[in-house]
Structure formats: C-alpha cells, structure tokens
Structure 1
Amino acid sequence: MSTEVWPPISAPQLAIEEDATLARELQWLLESLQSTLQSLKSGLEECAALLAPVEPGSTLVLSSHRSENVKGTVTRVGTRVVKGNVQLRLQTLPPPRGAPAFPLVVSSAPQAPTLVLDQIVSVRTLINSCLDIVDVSTWTGDAKNADFISGQLRLLEENIREAKGTLKGGPDIPNPWWEDPLDENIFDPPLPHYLSVNVAVAEAALVVTIRTLSASSPQPSTPETHQSTFVPNFGLRDRLAVALGATRPPTHDEIDQTFTFRGEQVSVKEKVRVESQDPSLMAALAKLSSLERVVKMSRQALAIVMGRDTSDDD
C-alpha cells in the first residue's frame, strides 16, 4: 500500500510542500513547548517548596538495625539540621562518667556553627537556575527560534539531571568525610578529636556516619600538636577484653585504610552508618525524575522535527 498526492505534482513542488509542512509542524511544536515549559515551571516550583526552610521541618528517626549503637532523632529545616539528639553506644567510644551512652547533641547556642547540608544547598541552587532557564525561554529569548529553544531544553535537562544526581548521592557526592569534617562546635559538648561525624544525603535519605578514630602513628608531643592528639589506641585493651571473653572489635570496610584527618594520619577503629528516609527529599527526587523525562522527550521531539540526529540525547 502506498500514499500518493492527488492530483500529482512535480518533484520540485513536492519538496516545497514538504518543507512548508515541516515548517508548520515546527511552529506548532514550538508553541506547544511553551505550555510544556509552564508545566515544568510548576513542577520545579513544587520541588523548591519541598526543600524550602519551612517550620517545623522534618523530624527523622535515626536507629541502627538490630542494635542499640545509634538511637535518636534529628530535625531538618530546609538546608540545615537545626536539632539533633542521638545516643551512641559503641565499643570504642566510652560514655561520660555516669552516663549510659555517649551524647551527640546539636548545639542550640546562638553562637554555635550551623550544620548545613551542602547537597541540598546545591539542589536548591540548581532548581533556581532551572526556573531562570524557563523564564528566559518564555519571556526574554526568541520562543519561535528552534535553535534557541533546543539549547535551552538541553541546559534545562543538564541542570535537572545534576540536581537529581546530587539528591541521590554517590562516590564523589558529597566530598570524602576526611576532607571536609564538621566543625566540632556544632555539637554540645563539642566533638572529641577522636570522633568523626558525617551527615550527607543518599537516595533522598539523611545518612549519618559515625567513626571512632585513632592515630595511625605516634604524634610528637609539642605545644602545637598537643590539643589535636587523638586518644590512645585501644588495641591492647581490645585484645585483652577478647581474651577474657568479650565481643571482638568490630570490622568494617575501612579497617585497613589510613586517612589524613584534621592534619593527622588516622585509622578508623569503628564505623556505624545510619540512614533515615526523608519524605520531602523523596518527593523532590521523584518529581525531578519525572521532569527530566518530560524534558528529554521534548528535546527528542524537537530534534526529530528539526531533522537532527537524536542519538546524542540518549
């Protein structure tokens, strides 16, 4: 079965008619994309609202599985952790005298540093950039210029993909824990030098990783280094405890590694990772994934009508 134009027209005239049809189709698609852009803007504004610093914020439970190692809650408001009260019961972290567990409490003092979640800061910045791209595509630039709209859609997709990837986290997101330690004075009492606390976002969940540390080699006892010296290594005590029937020291994926932490070579004695799903972050991640698909399909549709190869968009 074949389709022919009736009455028949010459090949040159047919080419002219085909070009005119493609031009009308391109014009229709560009007008349709303006509605798509407004829909994308609404979705982006919803994502921004989910990450906005709105009280009372999200209170999340932190609890280690099948153990009492970590128990407590934290409260996130926008990009900040404003409250936190977690009790640690670790083999290598002796509690204060008379206390059943080691307290990890976010300080409420006005002068205390703020615990900022840099990943959420980055996501909010990227979403704001996306909103700017939509506004430029709608009001400032030439909405009837296919090349301009194609470039804007590409930029929009890249920003949304980066925002989504930042909420999902990964090997390089955020920075390694030993490179960017939290300020000890975020907590009350301040963190001891042999304790590392890392707070990050992974798969739209708040992840808290606690590490107890020991110096991997003896440090010179000088006035300059005395205050940053780690507590003595508990290796001898641990071995003696095991010989008397106590539980063996914990193992983890960093047990044989050394790191430069606060200017000193350290090893990780004990490591505990706890995560808590954040409903707002989960909703934002789901919306960003949906928006990314819409932008990708819009880019592909425009590329097809413009006669361009869509393989680069995969």
Structure 2
Amino acid sequence: MISVASILRKAGAPAFLSTDPSTVRYCTGVSLSEGVLLITHAGISLYTDSRYIEEACCRVQQAGVSVHSIEDLRRRMQRIHMCAMQADRVFVQDHARWMRTYKNTKFIQTNGLIEGLRRKKSTDELREVRGAQRCTLHVLRQAERALKPGVSERAIAGLLHAWAQERGAEGLAFDPIVAFGSHTSRPHHHPTQRKLRARDIVQIDVGVRWHGYCADKSRVYFIGEPTERQRHIYAAVHLAKRTATTAVRPGVTNHELDRIARVVLHRYGLEQYFTHSLGHGIGLDVHEGISLSQRAPEQQLLRGEVVTIEPGVYLPGRFGIRLEDEVVVGTAV
C-alpha cells in the first residue's frame, strides 16, 4: 500500500508529479506509454490520453487511484502552488513545458524518493520476481540447447526474445548479451554475426520482464573442454559469487559485499580483472536502488530487497567469465 502522507512528507510539498513509467506503475499498477502521476493529500491520480483511459481504469491495482483525462491536469495544477518532482527522472523538455504551462506552481526537485520506497519488495512483488526468474531460467535452458557450431550471436539473441514471449513474459528486460570466444572479454558486448566454433567459450546475460518485474542472469558455456586457465578462472568467479551470496543479509553494506568478492578473486590473482561493481538492485527497472560497489555511497541492504550478485573476470582480447543471479535479502527465493 502506497502511503500518500509519507511520500508528501518526504517530498516537503503538498503535491508530487511524475511521468516516469516505473514510478507510475509502482504507484498505480498501470503500465502506460503516456501517463502523468499526481499525488496529493486527496489521493493518487493518474492522467492519460483519452485513448488509454479505459485500459488504465481496468488495470489500476492500487486502492484509491483515480484515472482522469490528461486535459484535466491543467485545471488541477492551477490549485497547486508547490509541487515536488523527480529531478533525476524528468526530461529537460518536460520540465520546461511544466514551467510554461503551470506558471502558478513552484517545482521542488527531489531525488530517490520513490526509488527508496521501491527497494523493499512486498510479497506480491516478490511473487512477480520469482516468475521472472523462472522464465529466465527456461530461456537459458533453451539457449544452451541451441548452442551448436555455426549459429551466430545475433541469432541466439533473437531467439532469446522469442522464447521469453512464448513463455508468457512481456519480453526481455534489456538487450541480451550473447558473446562467443574472445568477445566474452567485453562485459557489455553487443551481439554480432560471429558464428560459434568448436572450443569456444560462450557468455549469455539475459533477463525477462514478468508482469513489470525484471530478472537478470548470466551464464557461461563451454563448447568442448575448457582450458586449464578457463577452469581456474571459472572456479574463482564461482567461489566469489557463492561467498558473496552467502554474506547477503539485512544490514550488510554494499561496500562489504563488494569487498568480500574481491578478496576471493585476489587470492586467485585475478582481482585486477574484475572491472565493475558486484551487483545492483533490481525490480521494475533492471538497475534500481542500491549499487554493490565500494565506489557508491555506503548503504545497508534491506530485508525484502532484491539484488544481483555478478562477479566477473575479463582478460582483454582472450575471454571473460561472469556469473550472475538475483538474491532476495533475508528471504529464500
């Protein structure tokens, strides 16, 4: 249940306005390409184009949400003299338009207000996260079966989209990473027409969107026997992931988890090849909330929060190995 009073108290204003799709969905349960969320002490209002009003009314999931035509927003805003907005989630042109259109309203910038609420997932949200995980695991099993010499990275990427939708997902949560051979040394490689060859190493990073909620998993496959160097690095990354996952609990900090994984890789002489954060929060957005990095502000993990654990080692021009799964803090998935 969304607490209107809590949001407005933290915002320091009698109203809160947002066009961010994830914020709209979190506060109303409605996914729209065009929608404006307005929160006041009178409740939560969703304004949208007349083409979407019937659909929005049918999809509202939060109690107390009213749906209105976007034409009514200007009249409503004339009575609001101070309004908070998400400074980090509003386009410059939208802000400029609001300033021109709602001349009687003073806009106050806020950061992370709704995002902070979204960190801790409800029971219903965790059910959708589990659905996203199950569907993603199915997609990965299909991908493993399709890894035959001659198939291209791009072909596998296209199939990932199809398998997700066939299984009932809305689609993929992000463009998948499919990398063969030396391409695996690039953490965010974009699939090419490169074809799979015998003795290649394969990296697949994929997640589906299930009823709005995202999954994010990474797997490594070997076409033939891995080399000793590949075995050594796979074992190191696997142990770093397992050790960090075991340490996940309410109250542990993002700095501590990142440090735990790096200590393991240091013992293997590989820490310098781990070039990104250990993980991130995940939910309606594939990257949201906390960052598991010592470079980010230090924060404690919350019970019910969902984070990814994804250590990786990348040898430039040779190969890379990253393993990733989501973890629910303080709750068995």
Same fold at TM > 0.5: no
Larger Rg: 1
Point out which structure has higher relative CO (alpha carbons under 8 A, 6+ apart): 1
With the shorter chain as reference, the TM-score category is under 0.3
TM-score of the two chains, using structure 1 as the length reference: 0.24
